[in-house]
């Protein structure tokens, strides 16, 4: 019902426009930061799998680094991407616009927070095989099914996060879904270029980093 109290973490899945409209005037709170930390942790775990970290590191170091480094990177990334999207949207100098964008980026990542739980559960069941780019020949049967289910669920939840963020931008910036999608893509490109630039600088200052 239209007058029902809003439950952001629950309602954002199917009623994102109302959630982002209700959150528009709210300050950035702990929940935004926790969701960003969860998103950063998932990104770190995906990076570990791409780098085949399971072949050289144990499960505890990988999960520990994800909880620490991934969380910090996720929170920093929330503010960086919030600034990028606010600038692209013409909201420079408007704290309200930046705040709304941050809410969209944070609450739009609720599916990724669910994905984090799936990653951790899979890691506890499958061990370091979770973080191998190429499965080992001996990893068959249940482990293979589990890892395939992880990959499928991650892709689906990541896509749903994109949908929620695009709809959120459409709502808070008062633009069409098509324009919001273009804005989302541009922001991701700018963010990726900025990350690549920082990585190049880091590798130049600290060889082998």
- 49-81, pLDDT tens digit by residue? 999 998 888 999 999 999 999 999 999 999 999
Band the pLDDT of 199: cuts 50, 70, 90: confident
Band the pLDDT of 93: cuts 50, 70, 90: very low
Give pLDDT, residue 157.
Answer: 96
**What are the tens digits of pLDDT across the range 18-31?**
999 888 878 889 99
Cα separation, 87 vs 97, in Å, equals: 10
Structural domain for 17, as ranges = 8-205
Cβ(63)–Cβ(120) below 8 Å? yes
Report CA Rg, the chain: 18
Residue (of 97, 75, 96) closest to 85 by Cα position: 97
Q: Look at residue 59 and tell me if it is in a domain.
A: yes
Q: Look at residue 74 and tell me if it is in a domain.
A: yes
How far does CA 176 lie from the centroid of its chain?
23
Q: Look at residue 99 and tell me if it is in a domain.
A: yes
Q: Look at residue 3 and tell me if it is in a domain.
A: no
Q: Look at residue 177 and tell me if it is in a domain.
A: yes
Question: Residue 208, by phi and psi: left (phi above 0), alpha (psi -120 to 50) or beta?
Answer: left
Give pLDDT, residue 206.
Answer: 55
Cα separation, 184 vs 62, in Å, equals: 30
Q: Look at residue 1 and tell me if it is in a domain.
A: no
Band the pLDDT of 205: cuts 50, 70, 90: low
How many residues are given for the chain?
209
Asked whether the predicted pLDDT for residue 96 surpasses 60, the reply is: no
Q: Please work out, in degrees rounded to the nearest 5, the angle formed at the alpha carbon of residue 167 by the alpha carbons of 163 and 169.
A: 120
Exposure on the CB side of residue 152, measured as CA atoms within 13 A:
6
Cα separation, 119 vs 121, in Å, equals: 6
User: What is the overall mean pLDDT for the chain?
Assistant: 87
Q: Look at residue 18 and tell me if it is in a domain.
A: yes
Question: What's the domain count of the chain?
Answer: 1
DSSP state of 5: P
**What are the tens digits of pLDDT across the range 149-198?**
999 999 999 999 999 999 999 998 888 899 999 999 999 999 889 888 87
The mean per-residue pLDDT over the stretch 132-142 comes to: 76
Q: Look at residue 115 and tell me if it is in a domain.
A: yes
């Amino acid at each position: 019902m239209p007058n029902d109290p809003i439950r952001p973490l629950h309602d954002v899945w199917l009623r994102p426009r109302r959630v982002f409209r209700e959150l528009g005037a709210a300050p950035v709170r702990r929940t935004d930061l926790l969701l960003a930390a969860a998103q950063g942790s998932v990104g770190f775990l995906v990076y570990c799998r791409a780098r085949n970290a399971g072949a050289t590191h144990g499960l505890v170091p990988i999960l520990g680094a994800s909880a620490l480094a991934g969380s910090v990177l996720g929170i920093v990334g929330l503010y960086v991407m919030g600034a990028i999207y606010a600038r692209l949207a013409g909201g420079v100098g408007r704290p309200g616009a930046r705040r709304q964008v941050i809410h969209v980026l944070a609450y739009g990542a609720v599916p990724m927070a669910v994905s984090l739980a799936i990653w951790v559960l899979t890691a506890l069941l499958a061990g370091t095989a979770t973080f191998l780019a190429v499965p080992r020949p001996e990893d068959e049967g249940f482990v293979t099914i589990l890892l395939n289910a992880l990959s499928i669920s991650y892709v689906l939840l990541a896509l749903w996060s994109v949908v929620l963020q695009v709809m959120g931008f459409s709502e808070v910036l008062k633009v069409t879904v098509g324009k919001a999608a273009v804005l989302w893509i541009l922001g991701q490109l700018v963010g990726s270029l900025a990350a690549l630039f920082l990585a190049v600088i880091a590798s130049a200052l600290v060889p082998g980093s």
